[in-house]
Amino acid sequence: MPNILDGTAIAAAIKQEVAEEVRALSVRGIRPGLAAVLVGSVPASQIYVRSKVQTCNELGLYSDLITLPDSTTTAELLSLVAALNARDEIDGILVQLPLPRQVDARTVLDAISPEKDVDGLHPINAGLLQAGRPALAPCTPAGVIEILKRSSIPIAGARAVVVGRSDIVGKPVAMLLLAQNATVTICHSKTHDLPARTREAEILVAAIGRPGFITPEMVTPGATLIDVGINRISTREDFERYFAGDAKREAAFQKRGSVIVGDIHPAAFAQAGAYTPVPGGVGPLTIAMLMSNTVRAAKLRRQIRSRQG
């Protein structure tokens, strides 16, 4: 039977460690702070941001939730980011995506000070990550590495294949795996004979944003499957394609009218050595690593040695 990698339990352990670090910093008069900027009224974004703020409060971090109307302009956001960059009690700045259409999201994100870029998306942090130097890494890729390490999955020397080349997940997770001495291949929609490449993987990371894209014939038996995808399906046809005969999912589908599936077809998990479920796998690590990054940013800004280096 494959080993199910419990992201919820791992995230809880990381949060506990963060809380301990926050308490240790408090002795020195330091309280790491996160500013969360929410623009508009997208329900999912509101839920995500409130969850992040709540987690800050639970772990003892300072948080400042700033809400702005849908009509906010790029110039107004840039002014706010500049003010947050200057606030000493703010160690991390999070601008929740997506932003309204009239806002130039890339310009806003690039305006965040790299030392406060707890989402790890600034070009300077991306460059430091590639160079193997201390940097704030994107939260989801950092969470993938934590799952592997804390589940005792060997990374050094392993053949790792990443399907997806986004700046948010694909590229940075490849860099982080390389930093852990894996042999890494990045694949994408234009890769020739993709199944042949994915079958080479001892660690397969799926982050392509397409439901059930990785099918059983694309997986070598015994591989570790890391499913980063979160795709909502709401038709009976799609449900039967991925979850036919799954009584628990059927009950959820009947109740909510939709269920979540990852980028890996659930049938592929049967031949894995270990895998992350969806939900309950990689997802919970994102907020945990955001908290960890905020504490790390506080330490880096003050040149305090961190357990993460």
Q: Looking at the predicted structure, is the pLDDT value of residue 309 above 70?
A: no
The CATH number assigned to the domain holding 107 equals 3.40.50.10860
Active site residues: 52, 96, 119
Average pLDDT over residues 100-108: 97
Question: Among 215, 272, 219, 271, which residue's Cα sits nearest to residue 241?
Answer: 215
Q: Looking at the predicted structure, is the pLDDT value of residue 93 above 80?
A: yes
Q: What is the pTM assigned to this prediction?
A: 0.94
For residue 123, cis peptide bond before it (omega within 30 degrees of 0): no
User: Which pLDDT belongs to residue 161?
Assistant: 98
> Could you tell me if 78 and 144 lie in one domain?
no
> Could you tell me if 86 and 156 lie in one domain?
no
Residues above pLDDT 70, as percent of the chain: 98
Q: Looking at the predicted structure, is the pLDDT value of residue 306 above 90?
A: no
Q: What is the mean pLDDT of the chain?
A: 96
pLDDT one-digit tens code per residue, 185-207: 999 989 999 999 999 999 999 99
Number of domains in the chain: 2
> Could you tell me if 275 and 182 lie in one domain?
yes
Helices (H), the chain: 7-26, 43-59, 74-86, 105-111, 123-131, 139-150, 170-179, 194-198, 236-243, 247-256, 283-301
Average pLDDT over residues 245-269: 96
Confidence of residue 67 (pLDDT cuts 50, 70, 90): very high
User: Which pLDDT belongs to residue 308?
Assistant: 45
> Could you tell me if 150 and 279 lie in one domain?
yes
Residue 151 counted as domain residue: yes
